[in-house]
Structure 1
Amino acid sequence: MAAGAALSPSDAEKLSKLNSAVTGLDQISENEKIGFINLVCRYLSGEAQHVEWSKINTPTDEVVVPYDKLAPTSNDPSQTKTLLDKLVVLKLNGGLGTTMGCTGPKSVIEVRNGLTFLDLIVMQIENLNSKYGCNVPLLLMNSFNTHDDTLKIVEKYSKSNIDIHTFNQSQYPRLVVDDFMALPCKGKTDKDGWYPPGHGDVFSSLMNSGKLEALISQGKEYVFVANSDNLGAIVDLKILNHLVSSKNEYCMEVTPKTLADVKGGTLISYEGKVQLLEIAQVPDQHVNEFKSIEKFKIFNTNNLWVNLKAIKRLVEADALKMEIIPNPKEVDGIKVLQLETAAGAAIKFFDHAIGINVPRSRFLPVKATSDLLLVQSDLYTLADGSVIRNAARTNPANPSIELGLEFKKVGNFLDRFKSIPSIIGLDSLKVSGDVWFGANVTLKGEVSITAKSGVKLEIPAGAVLENKVINGPEDI
């Protein structure tokens, strides 16, 4: 049990019963049992989640470094090789593509030209290894949901010049809200009884898997951690060079907020340290202020660069006490609780931690089919596995796209477009109802298309729609 946590007698009894029950679960390791009980103990002790608003300061340029202030990298390929040989790339690969109607890991959704997220990631690193003669390995942190499928998928890269390692993040039992007992202890031992406890678990899982020790012994110094669905999260030599030369143990890439990102966590200076401030920690009366893009101008992209020896030191000291995120769910009508943590919240525990304010191009997540429309369109091209923005688009912001429920699943989305429309000149698109797009459609300005209930609305091939509101064929 975690030391020093002040629990009420009833909470202490709950924890003791839970601990006894979890001891008997043979599906998880001793490390997972200890990690889970520690997390529950911290949750029950009611650690302060809110920050004192008056103590928040805006970070200076020394703490959140502007990207254009980073030193240029060397033109000497041998120096670049030396730099890259210190690096490991780790992609968070625990998520399923269920919100987009897919089964299996989200990273195997086809993004562009028939290539999946994983294909593109492998191409990017292969290109670096070939170009500089370096050895940047790829680590995939899976969850129990994605592990088996991912092992099968990575077999196809066995002949590539890249070492691919997989490891699993922790598997914790869901907590039944009514009696605070672990769901698997009540007979729910299939996948629904368990959950992966958020990507904050990456540090201890990397250690518990033995991968951390192995990488350090190979002379690796930094790990670049990013979501597998962020197409902008490619290796950046300027950032790596800055961290190595400045001896920063942790770096979070942040980027300017737009109105679409107002709920994203931001970096603050707090009691002399840099810290991630999430919306859940904000006192109710300050939520609107938090969402303002005037006061809090940046948000966390979840592209993180972390020193491997620092991870080892902090995990061994059990010092990474990231804020707990309670995530309520329901399983077969039973209310359950998942206690999770986020990797970005670890920033305050590392020495010389910084943010780097990066260009928006490094944040290109695909969370929904509306994002898929952007990256499959002529707004982007593909080079060496990297998605590159078309210079013909003069507006630095991407168009805002809202697609109706009929487009939510990837299969339906692909069926409804004979080809992806040209959107270089598009500002916003709203589509709802039973709408189908012919080939070679061009969308410009602000376009809204609504099919009336029970009516199929077809946009003809070759149509050019500019600043149009369409409610029926007569409006095209």
Structure 2
Amino acid sequence: MAAAATVSVDEKLEKLQAEVAKLDQISENEKAGFISLVSRYLSGEAEQIEWSKIQTPTDEVVVPYDTIAPPPEDLEATKKLLDKLVVLKLNGGLGTTMGCTGPKSVIEVRNGFTFLDLIVIQIESLNKKYGCNVPLLLMNSFNTHDDTQKIVEKYSNSNIEIHTFNQSQYPRIVTEDFLPLPSKGKSGKDGWYPPGHGDVFPSLNNSGKLDLLLAQVTPKTLADVKGGTLISYEGRVQLLEIAQVPDEHVNEFKSIEKFKIFNTNNLYETCPLSAFLMKKISSILTVLGNRWVNLKAIKRLVEAEALKMEIIPNPKEVDGVKVLQLETAAGAAIRFFDKAIGVNVPRSRFLPVKATSDLLLVQSDLYTLVDGFVIRNPARTNPSNPSIELGPEFKKVANFLARFKSIPSIVELDSLKVSGDVWFGSGITLKGKVTITAKSGVKLEVPDETVLENKDINGPEDL
């Protein structure tokens, strides 16, 4: 039996490049960016990080949040600083893990307001209070572009400029022969993927938005366990994603003993700003944390093709065909910016919504809304949020909302675990540790106005 022919890296890349050149759905910039990424991958740049070189970052590299002391309020000085700020939000996600088909940013958070509504309200309040003009940029993907263009129309009368641009569209690679999936007849959306939020830097440049913003600069003004952790590596601060961790070190990576700091996956674009503004604006704009990047530095590094972030291989399967996506993370670019530091924000400012259990927290009386800001209820004495586990019946947002007549009061809740066909009435209060389990084939309804405190519910008789 003849041995299978071996294809060299150069031959593999040459064949891929020839097929990509035929794809007319994407620009020449996207083709060049894709081939560059694949070339780096084939040359071995996606190899796992050397675990022995990892060190915990010091306070000089990751600055404690409380050490950034704001000066007394000065409206005019703050306005001048805010006039140098641009807020960029990554808007390419679909929220498919929660059963959504449109942009994740349009999921309702509270009082009928979506994530995007809250972002707009926050910046509107900021502009109104300080008389500034902080614009909002949304980086869409080909999955969210059309919907987002329609959605932003409702903000046409707001006092903020909203700009949108698309991140790159790359072809998925068929694992078997390393050729693009669209060249095999998959010309629809399934043949393509957005290459991670690390693509924000070249896409910002390729879209023309970077030059647009820089053109507004004068000597005084300018018109983030999934997010990874910051580490010290060979003398520089660096982002480490779980996909880069060798299998034998995954449990160590997940441990909070060695890795206490996690990337919060939000991004602000800005000219150089003071440490005071870093703290002030991050308090005003979001509870998720932020990254600050100098627009001029982005321009310089993108044009020098110096932003070669770590490659994250992401294997997938499309209609039974095994494919590969090569992605990068925005935070990984931190090592290319000189004198970069991290700011270790408190957990109270990090409120990710990755699942409906997270959405329950945000929608509950644990938080209130003030000018679009999600504010922690002072009645909650425990500094930690309750631990919430909802069964698969609650996974999709539509099912989650249908199973709650109203969101229970959880100010005094320590933990909640729900499994099975469980339905909640209105005005329910949960305290301490509560477990609710519906037996197979049984529909368990928690009546209106029920108070459950430190209880295990296994059937109607326990209520």
Establish whether TM, by shorter chain, passes 0.5: yes
Q: Does 1:466 align with 2:453?
A: yes
Give the alignment partner of residue 385 of structure 1, picking from 339, 350, 372: 372
Aligned counterpart, 2:236: 273
Deviation at 1:298, TM superposition (A): 1.1
**For residue 331 of structure 1, what is the amino acid of its counterpart?**
V
Per the TM alignment, residue 264 of structure 1 is displaced from its structure 2 partner at its CA by: 5.2
Q: Deviations over 1:324-371 (max 9, x none)?
A: 111111111111111100011111111110000011122111111111
In the aligned structure 1, how far is the partner of 2:72 from the partner of 2:168?
40
- For 1:244-259, list aligned pairs within 5 A: none
CA distance in 2, matches of 1:182, 1:371: 37
Offset of 1:74 from its aligned partner?
A: 4.2
Match of 1:97 among 95, 98, 101: 95
Aligned-residue identity in percent: 81
Aligned to 2:47: 49
Which residue in 1 is equivalent to 2:259?
296
Pairing of 1:443-454 with structure 2 (within 5 A): 443-454=430-441
Structure 2 residue corresponding to 1:145, chosen from 143, 146, 151: 143
Kindly provide the CA deviation profile for residues 166-187 of structure 1, in whole angstroms up to 9, marking residues without a partner as x. 0000000010111111011112
User: Equivalents in 2 of 1:105, 1:60: separation in Å?
Assistant: 38
Query: What per-residue deviation string (whole Å, max 9, x for no partner) do you get for residues 77-124 of structure 1?
Result: 010001111110011000113222222111111110000001000000
Q: Which amino acid aligns with 1:371?
A: D
Q: Distance in 2 between matches of 1:60 and 1:332?
A: 47
User: Which stretches of structure 1, 4 residues or more, deviate above 6 A after TM superposition?
Assistant: none
Find out whether 1:109 has 2:107 as its counterpart.
Answer: yes
Describe the shift of the 1:36–1:374 C-alpha distance in structure 2 as closer, same or farther (beyond 3 A): same
Q: Secondary structure at the match of 2:264?
A: strand
Q: CA RMSD in A?
A: 1.5
Matches within 5 A, 1:28-39: 28-39=26-37
Unaligned stretches of 5+ residues in structure 2: 1-5, 266-289
Equivalent residue, structure 2, for 1:308: 295
Residue 59 of structure 2: which of 58, 61, 64 is its match? 61
Counterpart residue identity of residue 265, structure 1: G
Aligned to 2:17: 19
Say yes or no: does 1:364 pair with 2:351: yes
Q: What residue ranges of structure 1 are gaps of 5+ in the alignment?
A: 1-7, 227-260
Measured at CA, do residues 220 and 154 of structure 1 come closer, stay the same or move farther in structure 2, by a change above 3 Å? farther
The one-letter code matched in structure 2 to 1:361 is: S
Aligned partners of 1:373, 1:62: CA distance in 2, in Å? Answer: 37
Any conservation in 2 of the 1:437–1:461 contact (CA below 8 Å)? yes
The structural deviation recorded for 1:285 is: 3.8
Q: What TM-score, normalized to structure 1?
A: 0.88
* 1:126 equivalent in structure 2: 124
AA in 1 matched with 2:419 = S
C-alpha separation between the residues in 1 aligned to 2:306 and 2:57? 24
CA contact (8 A) 1:451 1:472 kept: yes
- Measured after TM superposition, the shift of residue 41 of structure 1 is 0.5
When residues 296 and 108 of structure 1 are mapped into structure 2, their CA distance, relative to the original with a 3 A threshold, is: same
Cα distance change on mapping 1:138 and 1:43 into 2, 3 Å? same
Q: Which amino acid aligns with 1:295?
A: K
Which residue type is aligned with residue 286 of structure 1? H
CA 1:287 to 1:433, structure 2 compared with 1: closer, same or farther past 3 Å?
closer
Q: Aligned partner of 1:10: which letter? A: S
Q: CA deviation at 1:289?
A: 2.9
Correspondence list, 1:77-476, <5 A: 77-219=75-217, 261=225, 265-302=228-265, 303-476=290-463
Indicate conservation of the 8 Å contact 1:86/1:220, yes or no. no
Q: 1: distance between equivalents of 2:249 and 2:208?
A: 43
